[in-house]
Structure 1
């Protein structure tokens, strides 16, 4: 076939048109996947990764709760645990293999507690015993799903999202009526994390190591108080305020027996009880040495 015949051939035109149409279809499909489906898949994958982070952080809290029980039973025992945290995820093979990431910190946030118990003769103050208690936090760096922060402080696990916060797991604290409902007992085991301030950003797996280092208490056993004021210094006052309100309601306390107030940096829980009711305060503190990536 000559050049002139080839140029005028309908078969050549059909093949060229088919190739162009096929190329257009492929481009359209790829564009549709990347514009419509990839963002949805990545959003779902990053949300799933945040569930993994909650699982890791809640596992960390559970480990510390258990070890603190052993430490209070035998203050001279030394126990340790290493908790892995999955920092990043949400990769989609072939389509979008890049991972999201996160920032893990130890003792970066400020958290402390002050307790004042009032008796007719003298006021008892926790002073510096419960200040600078230490924290562990994880903050996500997502590309599609809303960023979240998990903060462990005083034995509680808090979820913060934008300007809102919610206590997902409460501390080792209890308020209940005792002595045939004639008194109110407040029990609180506070977790104190000691160690250097450190932070790391990563999309792999990082590790936080904890080692028990004894315990302490307020030594107020047997003292009967007319009222108690507990002040929590925290970055998440709304979560602690809701927690105290729930705790008081579960204890069957009426509106005249307690109050909860807050500002941007603190929550104040005041407990007085009804006429004739005294308050017992039993507060202990478990020490942990906390290290980020102990072996690196």
Structure 2
């Protein structure tokens, strides 16, 4: 059986030829910049230093501004969080199963973390239960994480609910970590926002949404039949007859609802200060992760 991590590395190699070497690594390295650091000593202020790093009490005693210097903790913990419910076995916007896009995204971030000497753990599951993997180093460990997501996601799985996985993290993890969340097109409600605000106060959070296939409009990209075939909504197990899916009125209503959902998700994550991107296929993942880390660094 082909190794999933080999597929991830192949995608990253293609991306590396299109971008300057080290840009993706550089963005990952900036995620924890200024955070999770141990105090080392004080030095004189130099124009351009961060004002937030000034030790005001020491500066008052010294008579001139002093900057607190820190040494980075050698090893950070990255926790991959994803949904393995039946929603993630449905088709993505690009025609693949959404779990394939999720595996690629988790693999890219996990591989970057390990290249930087960080350890990677995972929490995954569906709307009924979550399971966890301890944070470890090594490609064999990362391969096992990806294999769990790949093999544990099916149309016969229980319903999806990323809230279950986020709640599991809130209950069981006290150490400060980088949380990388991969989910479908969920729109946070008030309860989920409260949960995310609690997590955001303790952890760094990055969020990638996997785009759903279009239920209304032309056939699924990459399929042999692009005509008005029947559609099946995995989330609520209902069929949408092809003739209705091709109706102009249904297409317009679906597009309006999609825009409203996207707007609600973006607004909620922006309020919480969580950087967010979306990917419709595995080909979108590497540039999406690059953009995600850049947005996180800039605080957008």
- TM-score, normalised on structure 2? 0.26
More strand by share: 1
More helix by share: 2
